């Protein structure tokens, strides 16, 4: 399953598969919580979703970016107005299961609060080896989280305390090389998008891919997919205006630069025809 959705990263896939095998065989939480560490756009979130899918569990994402309140995870007591359970209990409710995969996203971007405590301390309690006695302030009784799989993601390890890092099984995802990006566009991004937009007859040339990669110097492929998606949207716009674009997206830096200049403009309805004409000239 990982091979069908993620290119390369053989060492990472091996670690993930070992982790999944032990979880499935033992039927309970195994070892430390997996932490996927790497730059934006390298596939951390999609790996967690693939793990949940392979294990037949619902995947519930909890974004911790900017969270500086321990009550966000722990919940508030019923004596207060607007009391509500924490996000861990919410995840069990939304996942409709006591054994979901909970994705703790961007744990490196958590903050802290003198008044409401540090959310990292709650994480240390949640990620403890014995998760059978987690108490949410709203419920007031212990919950058994021993069947819940937690996977965390981070862009950097530096903001994480040594104590928190010690509770995690760190799997580092390397940035993609230019060769990797070419294969990802050809084998993953473009086939997925042309199927999604139902334009299977439109192909993209290899030197055009190289120019797109040059315009997206990020370590991941998020911007690259975004531009490819805009290309597909513009092809659809041409079809709607009765203009048939060529079967191959034209290559060459001048053409690709014109592509991206047109695609990055705000899409207003009054500009649609002009945009379509410019795109048509760019790919002719």
Give the whole-angstrom CA distance, residue 65 versus residue 74. 16
Q: Could you tell me the pLDDT band of residue 265, with boundaries at 50, 70 and 90?
A: very low
Mean local confidence (pLDDT), 98-107: 91
Q: How far apart are CA 161 and CA 166, in angstroms?
A: 9
Closest residue by Cα to residue 121 from 60, 68, 183, 53: 68
Contact between 91 and 60 (Cβ < 8 Å): yes
- Between 283 and 127, whose confidence is greater? 127
Our CA angle for 267, 276, 259, nearest 5°, is 80
Return d(Cα 18, Cα 48) in angstroms, integer.
14
Q: Write the pLDDT tens digit of every residue in 149-160.
A: 889 999 999 999
35's CB contacts (< 8 A; 6+ apart) are 107, 151, 152, 153, 154, 165, 168, 169, 170, 171
What pTM was estimated for this model as a whole? 0.76
pLDDT tier for residue 187 given thresholds of 50, 70 and 90: confident
Helix pair 206-214, 253-263: axis angle to 10 deg: 60
What's the distance, CA 51 to chain centroid?
Answer: 13
Return the CATH architecture of domain 2-172. Answer: 3-Layer(aba) Sandwich (3.40)
Q: Is the torsion defined by CA of 25, 29, 63, 133 positive or negative?
A: positive
> Average pLDDT for residues 107-128, to the nearest whole number?
82
Residue 247 has pLDDT above 60, yes or no: no
pLDDT of residue 153: 94
Please compute the mean of the pLDDT values over residues 13-19 and round it to a whole number.
78
- Going from N- to C-terminal start, the domains of the chain cover 2-172, 178-283
Structure tokens at 232: 């597909």
Higher-confidence residue of 258 and 101: namely 101
Q: Are 100 and 75 in contact (CB under 8 A)?
A: no
Give Rg (Cα) of the chain.
23
| CATH classification for the domain delimited by 178-283, as one of 2.60.40, 1.10.10, 1.10.8, 3.40.50 | 1.10.8
> Which element (helix H / strand E) includes 37?
strand 33-37
Residue 193: strand, helix, or coil? helix
Sign of CA dihedral 53, 56, 60, 65: negative
- C-alpha–C-alpha distance, residues 237 and 7, integer Å: 31
> Do residues 229 and 184 touch, judged by C-beta distance below 8 A?
no
**What is the pLDDT at residue 58?**
93
What pLDDT does residue 251 have?
44
Q: Work out the pLDDT band at 1, boundaries 50, 70, 90.
A: low
- Mean of the pLDDT values across residues 47-73? 88
**Taking 50 as the threshold, does the pLDDT of residue 116 lie above it?**
yes
- Count Cα atoms within 13 angstroms, Cβ side, for 8: 14
Whether the per-residue pLDDT at 110 is higher than 80: the answer is yes
Q: Which of 97, 111, 104, 102 is nearest to 52 (CA)?
A: 102
């Amino acid at each position: 399953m990982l091979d069908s959705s993620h290119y390369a990263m053989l060492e990472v896939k091996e670690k993930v598969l070992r982790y999944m095998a032990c979880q499935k065989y033992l039927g309970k939480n195994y070892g430390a919580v997996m932490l996927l560490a790497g730059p934006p756009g390298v596939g951390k979130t999609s790996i967690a979703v693939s793990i949940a899918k392979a294990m037949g569990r619902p995947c519930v994402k909890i974004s911790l970016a900017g969270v500086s309140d321990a009550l966000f995870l722990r919940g508030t007591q019923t004596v207060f107005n607007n009391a509500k359970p924490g996000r861990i209990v919410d995840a069990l409710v939304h996942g409709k299961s006591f054994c979901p995969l909970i994705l703790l996203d961007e744990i490196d971007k958590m903050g802290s609060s003198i008044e409401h405590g540090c959310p990292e301390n709650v994480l240390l309690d949640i990620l403890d080896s014995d998760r059978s006695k987690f108490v949410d302030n709203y419920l007031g009784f212990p919950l058994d989280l021993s069947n819940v799989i937690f996977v965390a993601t981070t862009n950097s390890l530096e903001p994480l305390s040594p104590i928190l890092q010690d509770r995690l099984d760190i799997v580092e995802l390397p940035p993609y090389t230019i060769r990797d990006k070419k294969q990802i566009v050809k084998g993953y991004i473009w086939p997925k998008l042309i199927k999604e937009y139902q334009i299977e007859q439109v192909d993209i040339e290899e030197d055009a891919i190289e120019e797109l990669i040059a315009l997206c110097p990020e370590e991941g492929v998020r911007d690259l997919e975004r531009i490819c998606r805009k290309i597909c949207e513009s092809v659809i716009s041409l079809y709607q205006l009765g203009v048939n674009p060529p079967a191959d997206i034209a290559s060459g830096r001048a053409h690709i630069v014109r592509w991206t200049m047109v695609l990055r403009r705000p899409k207003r309805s009054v500009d649609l025809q002009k945009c379509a004409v410019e795109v048509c000239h760019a790919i002719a």
